[in-house]
Structure formats: C-alpha cells, structure tokens
C-alpha cells in the first residue's frame, strides 16, 4: 500500500471519521479480484446475505446481495494483495488512533441487477466489535447511470446532506462503523465489492 494513500486515509479519519480514496488498489489487482469474485459466484460459492448478527435472516426487502467470506490465508494472489493492503491500513490506524483493531472480517459482495441494501449502520446493537468499515469496489467502467451508488450521510444523525459515491473499481471507502448511516441504491447491472470490518477483541 502506498504511503501517500495511507496518509490520505489517516487524515480523513482524523478530520471527519471517514474517507473516500480513488485508486486504492491498482487496476491489475482490481481486475484479478473482479475475475476471481465472478468465477466463485458463477461456481455457486456465494450465499444470500442476511440481516443482523448471529444466525442472520435473509430479508430481501432490506438487502439483496450475495456474499462470500474471505479467508486471510486465501492463496489467490489478488486476494493476498488485498489482505496485505488492508493489514497495512490496520497497523497504521492502530498506530495513529489507538483503536485496538485486532482483525479484518471481510467478504465479496455481488449485487445482481435491481438489488440494493437499505439504510443502515454497520455496528450491531448487541456486538460492538466492528469499529472501522472498509469497502473496496471491483467494478469496471462504472458510471452514475449504472446505479448502485453508495449513499452516505456525513452527519452521524443520519439526517441532512447526503453524499452519493460512485462504486468505481479500485476506490476505497472507509468510515467509523458505529457512526455513519449508508445505503446501496438499486444497481442497474451487476455490482461488485469487497466489504470488510476491522474488529476489536
């Protein structure tokens, strides 16, 4: 991970608790992750995402994505490059903010055409370990017309001004999990991401 990218993320977190960073991953790594994500999805390795912690229920009216959890020892080179980059970010955040982040829990997310994820927070009511959210987009040549924008509320109240973020390939979005409301607007074509949460013990 580039030092300048780390510095941008750290500055954003220090100033406002969130950051959007284009080109967090180089295009070759994004292409490798995209290809692997689609191959595993086509092979039937994914399952419908649930809502809530523990034995979660699938509620299609709230979210419609399919997910596959990522293991830190996954042998695929592009996945390992992602793991290495997010580990560098974890160490830097702990060094600067003393958050005690212990591990990254992450999954591939595939949103088929027409699916979405309603407005929510990433920290569960009964489990406060999720501390910092990271989303890395894997989409190719994505534009606003393709839908699937990440709608983000900078005010922790979840009210007021909204920011719509285009899920362009390689872009990293990171924010404090307990504070920031967000949703995925309906996608007009298949939308891909790697979504993760740095957790405390």
**To which CATH superfamily is domain 3-49+60-200 assigned?**
q2cbj1_9rhob like domain (2.60.120.620)
Q: pTM value? A: 0.95
Domain assignments of the chain as residue spans, ordered by start = 3-49+60-200
Q: How far is CA 19 from the centre of its chain?
A: 12
Query: How far apart are alpha carbons 164 and 183 in whole angstroms?
Result: 10
Under a CB-based contact definition with an 8 Å cutoff, are residues 150 and 173 in contact?
yes
From first to last of the 201 residues of the chain, give the pLDDT tens digit.
789 999 999 999 999 999 999 999 999 999 999 999 999 999 999 999 988 765 567 888 999 999 999 999 999 999 999 999 999 999 999 999 999 999 999 999 999 999 999 999 998 877 899 999 999 999 999 999 999 999 999 999 999 999 999 999 999 999 999 999 999 999 999 999 999 999 998
């Amino acid at each position: 991970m580039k030092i300048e990218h780390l510095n941008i993320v750290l500055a954003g977190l220090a100033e406002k608790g969130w950051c959007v960073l284009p080109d967090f991953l180089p295009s070759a790594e994004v292409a490798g992750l995209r290809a692997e994500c689609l191959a595993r999805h086509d092979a039937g390795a994914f399952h419908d995402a649930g809502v809530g912690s523990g034995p979660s229920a699938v509620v299609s009216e709230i979210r419609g994505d399919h997910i596959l959890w990522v293991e830190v020892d996954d042998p695929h080179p592009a996945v390992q490059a992602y793991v290495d980059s997010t580990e560098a970010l974890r160490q830097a955040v702990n060094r600067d903010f003393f958050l005690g982040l212990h591990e990254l829990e992450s999954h591939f997310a595939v949103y088929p055409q027409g699916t979405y994820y309603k407005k929510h927070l990433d920290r569960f009511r009964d489990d406060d370990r999720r501390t910092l959210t990271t989303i890395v987009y894997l989409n190719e040549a994505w534009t606003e017309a393709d839908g699937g924008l990440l709608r983000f509320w900078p005010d922790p109240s979840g009210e007021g001004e909204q920011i719509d973020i285009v899920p362009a390939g390689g872009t990293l979005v990171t924010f404090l999990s307990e504070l920031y409301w967000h949703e995925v607007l309906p996608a007009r074509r298949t939308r891909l991401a790697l979504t993760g949460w740095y957790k405390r013990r």
